[in-house]
Amino acid sequence: MRVAAKVMVMDEHRKTLEHWARGRSTPVRLMQRAKIVLLAADGLENKDIGPLVGVTRQTSARWRDRYVALGLEGLKQDAPGRGRKATRRAAMEAKILHATTQTQPEAATHWSTRTMAEAVGTSHTMVNRVWRDHKIKPHLWRTFKLSNDPRFVEKPVDVVGLYLNPPEHALVFSCDEKSQIQALDRSQPGLPIKPGRCGTMRTTTNATARRRCSRP
């Protein structure tokens, strides 16, 4: 016959267990587990603890053993592999991730939780949880700049040098944009959104660096 593990509760653990057992702001399952441990520490057997707490003898034995092996941390979470598998959520999660990273909504610049929920047939709270878990933020964009000018590196270095070490008795003026010129389209597509990274969009870059020095 299997003998139940003897439970010894330290004073600092007892205060926490008694707080959990009162259940004022404690989840029901954690409250039950704390009561099981306290009753076990008082010498009660599993078959007697079950009716007092409202659980089975097997449940009493399980959480008695978990406390003996892992302490308070063992009571906070279920053991890995326990509980019903979220198969429906896993399928919906894959559908949401694919739609978010591979498609775009009609007549909109990016997906919202409600438009995505309507598109895939789920709730907006589900979409929000999936995006949060995978660090996806469709409403955010990061920009990057790229120039095809072979002298692009040389020109900014030359211009910045004027600020760091200007000529003697000289005034340095700079202009970062050409007047009367508007960029109407992007020459290179951006990169799509993916889990953990925002979508990226290329910004137009004027690779022509100008400088003007005037001596008095």
- In this structure, the answer to whether residues 92 and 51 fall within a common structural domain is no
Name the domain count of the chain: 3
pLDDT on residue 87: 67
DSSP annotation of 175: -
- In this structure, the answer to whether residues 63 and 124 fall within a common structural domain is no
Asked whether residue 81 is assigned to any structural domain, the reply reads: no
Structural domain boundaries, residue 116: 87-137
Residue 80 binned pLDDT confidence (cut-offs 50, 70, 90): low
Asked whether residue 4 is assigned to any structural domain, the reply reads: no
Burial profile 103-127: b = 16 or more Cβ within 10 angstroms, e = fewer: eeeeeeebbebebbbebbebeeebb
Backbone angles phi, psi at 212, to 5 degrees: -145, 125
Asked whether residue 2 is assigned to any structural domain, the reply reads: no
pLDDT digits (tens, 9 = 90+) for 14-63: 889 998 888 777 888 899 999 999 999 988 998 899 899 989 989 999 99
- In this structure, the answer to whether residues 54 and 29 fall within a common structural domain is yes
Asked whether residue 182 is assigned to any structural domain, the reply reads: yes
Q: Give the bridge partners for 145, in sequence order.
A: 203
Total number of residues shown for the chain = 216
- In this structure, the answer to whether residues 127 and 159 fall within a common structural domain is no
In 10 A of CB 185, how many CB atoms? 5
- Kindly list the distances between the CA atom of residue 77 and the CA atoms of 29, 101, 107, in Å, as whole numbers in the listed order: 10, 33, 45
Asked whether residue 1 is assigned to any structural domain, the reply reads: no
pLDDT on residue 142: 75
Asked whether residue 3 is assigned to any structural domain, the reply reads: no
> Of the candidates 35, 2, 205, 193, which has an alpha carbon nearest to the alpha carbon of residue 104?
193
The dihedral built from the CA positions of residue 25, 30, 35 and 37, taken in this order, carries a sign that is negative
pLDDT digits (tens, 9 = 90+) for 120-170: 999 999 999 999 988 888 888 777 677 788 888 888 888 888 888 888 888
3-class SS at 213?
Answer: strand
Domain harbouring 18, CATH code: 1.10.10
Asked whether residue 29 is assigned to any structural domain, the reply reads: yes
Regarding predicted confidence, which is higher, 14 or 208?
14
Identify whether the C-beta of residue 11 lies closer than 8 Å to the C-beta of residue 71. no
DSSP annotation of 54: T
pTM of the model: 0.39
**60 Rama sector, left if φ>0, alpha if ψ -120 to 50, beta otherwise:** alpha
> Of the candidates 187, 201, 186, which has an alpha carbon nearest to the alpha carbon of residue 110?
201
Tell me the average pLDDT across 73-78.
Answer: 82
Q: Give the best-scoring range by mean pLDDT among 25-29, 80-84, 188-192.
A: 25-29
End-to-end CA, the chain: 104
